[in-house]
Structure 1
Amino acid sequence: MGWEPLHEPSGPRRIGEALDQVAFRLKAPRAQVLATVFDAWEELVGEVLAAHASPLRLVERELVVAVDDPAWTAEMKFFSAELISRINAAAKEEVVTSLTVRVRSR
């Protein structure tokens, strides 16, 4: 993913470093990458789509997105290549290679 796991330190460490170590073990991206995707979601997809779709998880470069209605599945899939490109540009590395869309159960 463009980064290496941290060695076990002998003393205190920053919370971001600890989170990155856990993320590495779970095959998830660094904490900063997750913040880029989850915190900037509306900026990445736009206000209208953000009102109907939200990121659920990002593991092994697969982003899983939940939509509130099946009609938004097609829109999300149509936008997926652009979204992947935007996320990777914002993260300054290839962190997403595929996108899966799920409809939230009501």
Structure 2
Amino acid sequence: MTDHEDIPPGKPPSPLNDVLSRVLRRMKMSDEASAISLFSSWRQIVGDGIADHVTPQRLEKRTLTVEVDDPAWATQLKFLESQLLSTLKEHVGDEVDTLHIKVRRTR
């Protein structure tokens, strides 16, 4: 048995960075490094209270789209928007200057 048994013959595996770049382009992320940092560190950036109810969805043209689990959280985020944008700026620089809030659809 070798470490390469699952790799089709003649086709080397794609580097993880290439795979991530393709995924981020499909998700319409504008700056891959900032997007990775933002999405992977979301809970640490915004704190548990917000992260429990708000999920980042897309970063495109400096607009961060987030999804909230309840309309009340959409209202709460509107009040916290300038503070949240300031916090995001500390972590990802000028990559985010607008917040777009969507309420998650329930079944």
TM-score (norm 1): 0.71
Q: 1:16 & 1:71 partners in 2: Cα distance? A: 38
Q: Provide Cα deviations, 1:55-75, integer angstroms capped at 9, x if missing partner.
A: 010100000110000010111
| Cα separation, partners in 2 of 1:73 and 1:22, compared to 1, 3 Å | closer
2:89·2:96 contact (CA, 8 Å) conserved in 1? yes
Aligned to 1:35: 36
In our comparison, the structure showing a higher alpha carbon Rg is 2
Aligned to 2:51: 50
Aligned to 1:103: 103
| Cα separation, partners in 2 of 1:16 and 1:89, compared to 1, 3 Å | farther
2:81·2:99 contact (CA, 8 Å) conserved in 1? yes
Number of aligned positions between the proteins:
93
Q: Which amino acid aligns with 1:36?
A: S
Q: 1:22 & 1:39 partners in 2: Cα distance? A: 14
Q: Considering only aligned residues, what root-mean-square deviation do their CA atoms show, in Å?
A: 2.5
| Cα separation, partners in 2 of 1:22 and 1:70, compared to 1, 3 Å | closer
Segments of structure 2 that go 5 or more residues without pairing to the other structure are: 1-14
1:80·1:99 contact (CA, 8 Å) conserved in 2? yes
Q: 1:99 & 1:89 partners in 2: Cα distance? A: 15
Q: 2:95 & 2:18 partners in 1: Cα distance? A: 18
